[in-house]
Amino acid sequence: MGGTVKALCYVGISMHPNALRELGKFYKVALDDTQLPVCEAAIVYYADNALLDTAPNLRALGCHSCGKKLLQLAKECNVSLTLAAGLWRTVAEHTLALMMSAARCVASSDRALRLGAWERHSDLKVRYSGFDFQEKTVGIWGMGQIGRELASMLSGFHVRILYSDIYRLPLDVEKRLNAEYCEFSELLPECDYFSVLVPHNASTDRFLGKAQFDQMKDGVVFVNTARSGIVVEEDFYAALDSGKIGAAALDVIWREGEKVSERLAKYDNVVLTPHLGGSTFECDMELVRGVCRQVQ
């Protein structure tokens, strides 16, 4: 007897190998988007109505985020839709990891040890001594789902949490998160740590530049896990060169997918990760389980 022919699932995100293997138990995996028209399932980062137009045979869809109109359209088209509810906490965890890694020089001191610098360990302790975390002020620019998750995690670190956004949280939520609202201009000079978590759109494009960096504390720890386009690249480098930014961590860089520029790579006080915010086995498996329920 011949084996059962598996349905085709398009995967348009980078996926943990173990999650991809689990998906392969139920679907034949397609990595080429030209196969979308014949796919019965898809896992993508972002989905909108155009995706359903492209894939008329779709019966299961998993995505990190989607347009509001897609929710209703998926229901009308009998497409099972799974959103990664755990994504926000996953990104928040990575943001916190980068924040502390930058402050304590984890990546740079690791590189120094691997290059054989341990014999001068006393000099390393001077060069890579970092900053304490507790009793400091952490500023969160963008108090959406990720920002709220981050604030919740920070509550156990005895830090002061300030946030700014276009909308203020309800007072009971602020109290639960131990977070204080302030205007953006008031946020900048207060923060020892500054986290960028706003969406990249017309109002935030290249919004963080020289004027904003100049208002920040000297030696601020700057973390961007949102989008690179929010920050003016040249002004970011200038802030690093002047010491305005004491340490930085970027999960998003300009010209992603290309070799990191020599200029950015030279900074020993900058931690870089290749857009890993939502890349965990657990987060990927949430989408895999969603699309696999359709065939189970």
Q: What confidence tens digit (pLDDT) does each residue in 207-217 have? A: 999 999 999 99
Q: Is the pLDDT of residue 148 over 70?
A: yes
Count, residues in the chain: 296
Quick check: pTM over 0.85? yes
CA separation for the pair 121, 112 (Å, rounded): 10
Of 1-15, 123-137, 280-294, where does the model show the most confidence? 280-294
Q: Which fold has domain 7-83+280-295?
A: Rossmann fold (3.40.50)
CA separation for the pair 89, 104 (Å, rounded): 22
Q: List the domain boundaries for the chain.
A: 7-83+280-295, 88-252
CA separation for the pair 233, 215 (Å, rounded): 17
CA separation for the pair 113, 118 (Å, rounded): 5
Single-letter residue type at 87: L
Q: Which ranges of the chain would DSSP assign to H, the alpha helix?
A: 17-24, 49-54, 68-76, 87-103, 106-114, 121-127, 145-154, 171-177, 184-187, 210-215, 233-242, 262-265, 281-295
Single-letter residue type at 271: V
pLDDT band at 2 (very low <50, low <70, confident <90, very high): very low
CA distance to 36, 61, 200, 292, per residue, from 24 (Å)? 17, 16, 34, 10
Catalytic positions: 227, 258, 275
Considering only the top CATH level, what class is 88-252?
A: alpha beta
DSSP tag of 62: E
pLDDT band at 238 (very low <50, low <70, confident <90, very high): very high
Q: Is the pLDDT of residue 1 over 90?
A: no
DSSP tag of 79: -
Dihedral angle, C-alpha 272, 278, 283, 284, nearest 10 °: -90
Per-residue confidence (pLDDT) for residue 296, from 0 to 100: 67
